[in-house]
Amino acid sequence: MTILALVAAMVGFLSLALSMDKHHQEMRRRKSSSAERRAFRSAGWGGLAISLVLAMAAWGAAVGSILWFGILSFAAALVLLLLSRIASAPRGR
Amino acid sequence: MSAGFRQSQSSLHTWSGLIVGWVLFTIFLMGTVSYWREDINRWMRPELAGAERPEQVVEGAVAFLQDTAPDAKNWYISVPGAHEAGSSLFWQPRPVEGQPPRRGRRDTQALVGADGQPLHARETRGGEFFYRFHFDLHYVPVLWARWFVGFCAMAMLVAIVSGIITHKKIFKDFFTFRREKGQRTWLDGHNATAVLALPFHLMITYTGLVTLMALYMPWAAVANYSQTDKLFEALFPSVAEIERAGKPAPLVDLVPLMRDASARWGGRAIGSIRVSEPGDAAARVTITASQTDSISVRTPSIAYSGATGRMIWQSDGAQGAVQAAGVMIGIHAGRFASDLLRWLYFLSGIGGTVMVASGLVLWVVKRREKLPDPMRPHFGFRLVERLNIGFIAGLPLAMTGYLWANRLLPVEMASRADWEIHAMFIVWGAALLAGFLRPAKKAWVEQFALTGVALIGLPLHDLLGGRGLIGAGMAGDMRMVGMNMTLLLLGVAFLAVARKVQRYRPKAKRVRKVPAISPAPAILEAAE
């Protein structure tokens, strides 16, 4: 359950990154439409919310919410490192 | 927001961060390793290793105390939990008329091992030293230290808030980390470690101040309570002190009382036991719950008659304010945290440590390009650059030196525990000095590499001594295995940092060449 919470948080942050022009360009090599941006943004926040629900389900409301903050930081750091790898990788596949 | 306001916040951020930066780095790093305080305790007392059997340990402790201090006024017994194997005991001798009460002497303390037998372990402050140092410092009076640490924590809070205001693209740059771009990379790294763990940084700084609030802001208490005793009685109600009856009565078996208390708390673990007037008809046993099972550090107690085993008092729920403070301190110290959450705490703490370190390095990197004569930088620049080495690279080296002193100093040495600490400061002093004497880049590489080698050496040393990783693994002592693996991992990380610094060649940017070399992305890599 905790692993799922981490996965949900990572998917959430990746979606949030995809809703930003700069990172969308890096990952998908094209501009995003405004519908896509909206979809990524909702999916992103949704992912973070699901992560909170999972953490609370596994650890209870009090400890779960504290754990969730830790999971968020960890997930965001992983996504950041992943994106910086993608951004610094040589262009073209 | 006007540009002038943001500019002023930027200056505030730079200087509030720089002035206390080295102290904050120290507090953050020491506090971060303190999340593994009990495990470090255990590692530093290898004699105590073994699987935990709390009831057996308590029985052994009682037998020992009945032999050693049958007429003491109080016995205090710590009950081993998931993190410690044995129990530390101390007792308060019966006060003698006309003599001041004695406290915390060495001859009124003892250790009981996991098998319940009294144990002669090496003298050490263990992980407690790191924990105390992160708010009490060392070699200075505790009250001064706490005021100083509080001042620095306040400056930290100022730096965090002004940093958020200064960093205008906080959400736009949320996922941005540009590698190998010199100053840009440092700034991204500083922002990333700050922003990604921002809830942690705000929480830890604020609740850190809360832990010592009675010291910093005593006025409400002073205005309402004439005596400290009264205040404590109001805040932390406890069972009334007892008078000795003078009639001997054997002490009941403590194990059923522990089970009873645990059952009344819905299965919580026991943290500590106090026996007042043991062996007397009026004897009393007070059992306090462990801090591992609730977020708040204010844990309930139950008192029993020591002669009959009947329950005579139970603490009721703490008041709102006390509970709120207890929860804040609990969230800060993470004693309730399971291993998983402790790792997240630890990683967030590393993030905070790297944030402070990268801020300090950024101050230097930013100014290096603007030096009028890069070969002869002004005094302030040199001071900051060199202090950075002695703290950021020197402190981890010194802490490793402390662990080595624990293994190398003779077990029977006089004031051994003190010398472990002196050893840490000797190494630290040497590292600071080397930071000033050696060329900057060499000093960074040497100290990081030495730390890495020394960290890896610790588990190897134990392995050769026959009770390291493999011995602990065979004995099923997973806490010791975890400590050894973590030391190895940290050692590898420090070697990787050293290599990164060693290989770093600044690109000749613009016209002006960068003279000395900064360990640019190195520390950031270590945080990965």
pTM for this predicted structure:
0.89
Mean pLDDT computed over B252-263: 92
Inter-chain residue contact A62 with B199, CB threshold 8 Å: no
Q: B134 versus B323: which is more confidently predicted?
A: B134
CB contact under 8 A, B175 and A72: no
Q: For an interface test with B, give the residue of A81, A85, A86 to mutate (most B CBs within 10 A).
A: A81
The alpha-carbon gap from B113 to the nearest alpha carbon of chain A, in Å, equals: 32
Mean pLDDT, chain B, as a whole number?
87
Q: Using CA atoms of B512, B516, B521, B522 in order, give the dihedral in degrees to the nearest 10.
A: 170
CA triplet B341, B349, B130: central angle to 5 degrees?
100
- Residues in chain A with CB shorter than 8 Å from the CB of B176 are 22, 80, 83-84
Closest-CA distance of chain A to residue B500, Å: 17
Q: Tell me what ipTM this predicted complex has.
A: 0.93
H helices of B167-253, in order, are: 183-196, 198-211, 213-216, 219-224, 228-235
Asked if the C-beta of B509 comes within 8 angstroms of chain A's C-beta atoms, the answer is no
**Which has more pLDDT, B50 or B321?**
B321
How many other C-beta atoms lie within 10 A of the C-beta of residue B511? 5
Cα separation of A61 and A18, whole Å?
30
CB contact under 8 A, B344 and A71: yes
Residue B50 — very low, low, confident or very high, per pLDDT cuts 50/70/90? low
Contact at CB, B347 and A83, closer than 8 angstroms:
no
Res B214 pLDDT > 90: no
Helix (H) or strand (E) holding B87: strand B87-92
pLDDT in tens, B452-468: 999 999 999 999 887 77
User: Which pLDDT score is estimated for B102?
Assistant: 58
Token pair, residue B510, equals 């613009």
Q: What is the structure's pLDDT at B299?
A: 87
The predicted structure's pLDDT at residue B46? 85
Longest dimension (CA), chain A: 47
Does residue B1 surpass a pLDDT of 80?
no
Residue B466: CB atoms within 10 Å: 8
Res B235: pLDDT: 74
In this predicted structure, which of A26-35, B80-89, B147-156, B450-459 has the lowest mean pLDDT?
B80-89
pLDDT at B240 over 70: yes
Q: B368-420 pLDDT, tens per residue?
A: 888 888 778 889 999 999 999 999 999 999 999 999 999 999 998 989 999 99
